Amino acid sequence: MRNTVRIISVLTVVGLISGTALVLMYNYANPRIIKNQKNEMEKAVYKLFPNAKKYDKVAMGDDVVFKVTDKSGKSLGYAFIAEGNGYQGPIKMMAGIKPDLATLEGIEILESQETPGLGQEIASDNFRAQFDGLKTSPEITYVKNAKPGSPNEIQAITGATISSKAVCTILNEQIKTIKQKLSK
Amino acid sequence: MNNVCNQTCTGCGKEFSKGLWRQNPIFVQVLGMCPTLAVTTKALFGFSMGMATAFVLICSSLAVSVIRKLVPQQVRIATFTVIIATFVTCADYFLQANFYTISKELGPYVPLIVVNCIILGRQEAFASKNGVFRSLLDAIGMSVGFTAVLILLGSIRELLGFGTIFNFKILGAGFEHWVIMALPAGAFITLGFLIGLFNWMNKKSKSN
């Protein structure tokens, strides 16, 4: 009986202390984590639109669109988030689109868990630069082991076709949705 | 493991140094293989993982050795686990708050320190049976041994897989990257060679 009381009290005290410590830690860390995530978005927007001065977040149903404007208040275009499945996990990226909704400004990879050294190369400058200035229709396609021939084509990363394809698919999907929502 | 538990501590320096070589958590005890193999694609990740694990191990060992006489036998594992999980969550929050990019690269492996057997193993085998000072030395020694091997493993894999060490370019553009070193297979191959080398060195020093 005495042992039972001791077991219960030890576990209770340890639990209470640990709970308190976690609450304190959470209160310290959470605002910083939110700030980090916001910074990351912000950095991506400004990287896509180097001349951007400010952006407004517009919620459109499930999607969030950033309206980007330059110093004089002229619209530079829109940035939006596209998310979908890659080879090993979700890929989350931000894409920029010019005000006429016809030309892609570029893409930035925000999160991905692709194979290091292969699929992870979707975040490399060489791969991403291929998307700069592509048209938003027809759909973006990819070729393997060859220089892209037709317009709106990119070259898939050698050994990481699935990751390259995933980027195209996710992007095409989201472009369609965003165009629909924005042209309303 | 058993001889570690029953060892009577003669010199306190030994408690520290055993984790470096004689009882190295990776080479000798072969514990904590999940982070060892998974995060060592680059030296920096190995280092960060080692630091996070060191923080958890040292804090847990301190806490456990302080309360070791109060905890009833039946619930010691539960108590240790709560303590370890608390420190792991703190470490995870801290990384996310202050080292956001690294924390994103390490992904789920920081929360997974909870189930790293080095940590629970040291609590069971050492901290729950020894005083605060010795437990501290033991935990620091094990942490240094663990981190050193992670950095070594990460450096070799990063050098061959990406041509860099700690993101500094070492091998020039002419070097064809060994993609396999960045993949899980590269971790097994490197670790196998390192353990082989370790055993060979031990054997050699014994026969001398």
pLDDT given at position B1: 41
Q: Do A11 and B78 touch (CB under 8 A)?
A: yes
- E strand spans, chain A: 54-60, 63-69, 75-85, 90-97, 104-111, 141-143, 153-155
pLDDT given at position A112: 87
Question: In this structure, what token pair is assigned to residue A49?
Answer: 């639109």
pLDDT given at position B2: 44
A153 near A142, Cβ under 8 Å? Answer: yes
Report the alpha-carbon distance of residue B63 to residue B136 in Å, rounded: 10
Helix (H) or strand (E) holding B165: strand B164-165
- Please report, for chain A, the start and end positions of each structural domain, with discontinuous segments joined by +: 46-182
User: How big is the A-B interface in CB pairs under 8 Å?
Assistant: 73
Beta strands A141-143 and A153-155, pairing class: parallel
B138 near B15, Cβ under 8 Å? Answer: yes
List of chain B residues with pLDDT < 50: 1-7
Q: Check CB contact of A36 with chain B, cutoff 8 Å.
A: yes
Cβ contacts of A3 on chain B, cutoff 8 Å: 72, 74
Question: In this structure, what token pair is assigned to residue B73?
Answer: 């036998």
Cβ contacts of B70 on chain A, cutoff 8 Å: 10
A89 near A163, Cβ under 8 Å? Answer: no
Cα–Cα distances (Å) from B134 to A181, B3, B24, in that order, read 65, 16, 17
CA angle A160, A163, A167 (to 5 degrees): 140
A174 near A95, Cβ under 8 Å? Answer: yes
Residues in CB range of A116: below 8 A, 6 or more apart: B41, B161, B182, B183
Q: Do B93 and A118 touch (CB under 8 A)?
A: no
Nearest to A21 among B75, B90, B97 (CB): B90
pLDDT given at position B141: 94
Q: Check CB contact of A22 with chain B, cutoff 8 Å.
A: yes
* Other residues' Cβ atoms within 10 Å of the Cβ of residue B74: 11
**What are the pLDDT digits (tens) for A37-87?**
889 888 999 999 988 888 888 877 778 888 888 888 888 989 999 999 999
- B/e letters for B2-34, b = 16+ CB within 10 Å, e = fewer, are eeeeeeeeeeeebbbbbbbeebbbbbbbebbee
Question: In this structure, what token pair is assigned to residue A77?
Answer: 């275009």
Which A residues, 83 through 112, put their C-beta within 8 Å of a C-beta on chain B? 111
**What are the pLDDT digits (tens) for B100-118?**
988 988 888 899 999 888 9
pLDDT in tens, chain A (184 residues): 788 999 999 999 999 999 999 999 999 999 999 999 889 888 999 999 988 888 888 877 778 888 888 888 888 989 999 999 999 889 999 999 998 888 999 999 988 888 877 888 898 888 999 998 888 878 888 988 888 877 788 999 888 899 999 999 999 999 988 888 887 7
Gap from A25 CA to chain B (nearest CA, Å)? 6
Query: B1: exposed, middle or buried (C-beta count within 10 Å: 0-12, 13-18, 19+)?
Result: exposed
- Please report, for chain B, the start and end positions of each structural domain, with discontinuous segments joined by +: 26-207
Gap from A181 CA to chain B (nearest CA, Å)? 31
